[in-house]
């Protein structure tokens, strides 16, 4: 029997390459906003200028820091209040979107997001702030952008390596959604279509970074992944990466890209049916007689080779001496519903493998 409770978040999504300026102007008019604050880092400013070509912002803000330190959020909130801002437009990656969300969290000012990476924050009602080496996240509908404007032209400048890490960060959203606490058939359907789009899109971007069809597929997949993640909640993968980012300040996208196959290898034996569907979405249906967990891990490993994906946390500043503290912190937040119960030894082994870049493989066969 099928039984589930599903919540779909309400948000407009306007997708069109080269259409960001027209789409943004129409949305500003529709919302009746007169005091627009634009958030974009210095590097993202040219894209923001393009997106805002048909509106007249009252405030430009370029202090953007990954994982949104509280003091940065407070400065931006004060500036928004001083300028009577009634709409925040963020043009940039997940860090830029994160700052806009921090403003919305305390002020209720609506946000329009124009994403330029595949991070997916724009489609979630999750906010994150960092203070004293600890990243706090929460869920609040106030931070969900009212509108997302996708323009794949902005992703053209994303270097291939960053496209791969960011796209695998998106893949982590959809894969983790498959077993997250609120996983259901609807968010699983979004996640599996997302995995298909991301796998084909990213392979296309690596083959030709100017392939706009591949860029659009990847951006579309990134949205679906975030929508499935927003609905299903944080699974084991996000709990681990949240600790690695917040406590050890590891780079977000690369950390997700590196850790994902180890969490898949750990969890896939507990969800063989979903593992089999994911393998198909990744373009490698499980051959007759092969274990589904083994097959899906092989499928992801093969994709990672095609993409020349990041492989070891040691390359991003994590070290063996960090593992005990990381394990302790992860153990406090492992979801009770994780399909495979995780012990301290399991998390230590997973982090050790991710640190060194050992080839990911399931440790136990599927529980068929
Ligand atoms: P980022 O926003 O820090 O961007 C990474 C780098 O890419 C920056 O230097 C940025 O200037 C540059 N960049 C952005 N767009 C570019 C483009 N089109 N071309 C070239 N360079 C470009 O990194 P990110 O991975 O996009 O986002 C990470 C942050 O987002 C983290 O803080 C993470 O916690 C947060 N996040 C939140 C959620 C959520 O649901 N709340 C989801 C995903 C990510």
For residue 67, the ligand 1 atom closest to its alpha carbon is 32
pLDDT interval class at 135 (50, 70, 90)? confident
278-334: pLDDT as tens digits: 999 999 999 999 999 999 999 999 999 999 999 999 999 999 999 999 999 999 999
Residues in the chain: 368
Mean pLDDT, residues 179-196: 97
Check residue 319 and report its DSSP letter: -
- For the Cβ of 130 lying below 6 angstroms from any atom of ligand 1, the answer is no
CB of 37 closer than 8 Å to CB of 88: yes
The CA distances from residue 348 to 110, 182, 322, in Å, are: 42, 26, 10
Mean pLDDT of 179-190: 97
Would the CB of 98 count as within 6 Å of ligand 1? yes
Q: Which atom of ligand 1 is nearest to the CA of 101?
A: 41
- Atom of ligand 1 lying closest to residue 166 CA: 25
Q: Within 13 Å, how many C-alpha atoms sit on residue 260's CB side?
A: 31
| 4 phi, psi to nearest 5 deg | -160, 160
Contact 87, 31 (CB under 8 A): yes
Mutation to probe ligand 1, out of 46, 91, 93, 97 (largest number of atoms < 8 A from CB): 93
Query: Measured from the CB, is residue 155 less than 6 Å from ligand 1?
Result: yes
Per residue in 63-100, pLDDT (tens digit) is: 999 889 999 999 999 999 999 999 999 999 999 999 99
Q: Whole-number mean pLDDT of the chain?
A: 96
Rounded Cα–Cα distance for residues 179 and 82 (Å)? 44
> Which tens digits make up the pLDDT trace of 194-205?
999 999 999 999
CA of residue 116 to ligand 1 center, whole Å: 8
Q: Which atom of ligand 1 is nearest to the CA of 162?
A: 7
Whose Cα sits closest to atom 28 in ligand 1?
Answer: 94
Q: How far is the CA of 93 from the centre of ligand 1 (A)?
A: 3
The rounded distance, in Å, linking the Cα atoms of 187 and 209 is 29
Whether the CB of 66 sits within 6 Å of ligand 1: yes
pLDDT interval class at 366 (50, 70, 90): low
Report the nearest atom of ligand 1 relative to the CA of 143: 41
Compute the distance between CA of residue 32 and CA of residue 37 in angstroms, rounded to an integer: 14
């Amino acid at each position: 029997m099928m039984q589930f409770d599903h919540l779909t978040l309400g948000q407009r999504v306007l997708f069109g390459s080269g259409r960001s300026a027209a789409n943004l102007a129409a949305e500003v008019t529709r919302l009746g906003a007169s005091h627009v604050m634009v958030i974009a880092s210095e590097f993202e400013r040219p894209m923001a200028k393009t997106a805002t070509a048909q509106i007249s912002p009252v405030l430009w803000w370029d202090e953007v820091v990954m994982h949104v330190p509280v003091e940065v959020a407070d400065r931006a909130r004060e500036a928004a209040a001083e300028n009577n801002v009634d709409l925040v437009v963020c043009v940039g990656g997940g860090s830029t979107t994160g700052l806009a969300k921090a403003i919305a969290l305390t002020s209720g000012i609506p946000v329009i997001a124009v994403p330029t990476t595949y991070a997916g924050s724009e489609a979630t009602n999750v906010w994150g702030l960092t203070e004293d080496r600890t990243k706090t996240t929460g869920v609040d509908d106030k931070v969900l952008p009212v509108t997302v404007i996708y323009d794949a032209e902005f992703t053209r400048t994303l270097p291939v390596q960053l496209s791969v890490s960011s796209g695998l960060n998106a893949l982590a959203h959809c894969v983790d959604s498959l077993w997250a606490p609120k996983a259901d058939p609807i968010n699983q359907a979004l996640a599996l279509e997302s995995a298909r789009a991301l796998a084909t899109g990213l392979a296309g971007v690596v083959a030709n970074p100017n392939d706009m069809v591949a860029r659009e597929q990847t951006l579309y997949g990134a949205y679906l992944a975030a929508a499935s993640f927003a609905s299903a909640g944080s699974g084991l993968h996000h709990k681990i990466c949240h600790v690695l980012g917040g406590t050890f300040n590891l780079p977000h996208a690369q950390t997700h890209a590196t850790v994902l196959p180890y969490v898949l290898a750990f969890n896939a034996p507990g969800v063989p049916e979903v593992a089999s569907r994911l393998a198909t979405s990744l373009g490698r249906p499980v051959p007759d007689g092969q274990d589904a967990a083994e097959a899906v891990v092989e499928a992801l490993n093969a994709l990672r080779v095609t993409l020349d994906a990041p492989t070891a946390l040691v390359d991003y500043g994590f070290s063996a001496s960090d593992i005990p503290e990381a394990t302790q912190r992860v153990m406090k937040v492992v979801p009770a519903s994780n399909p495979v119960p995780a012990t301290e030894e399991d998390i230590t082994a997973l982090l050790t493998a991710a640190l060194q870049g050992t080839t990911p493989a399931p440790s136990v066969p599927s529980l068929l």
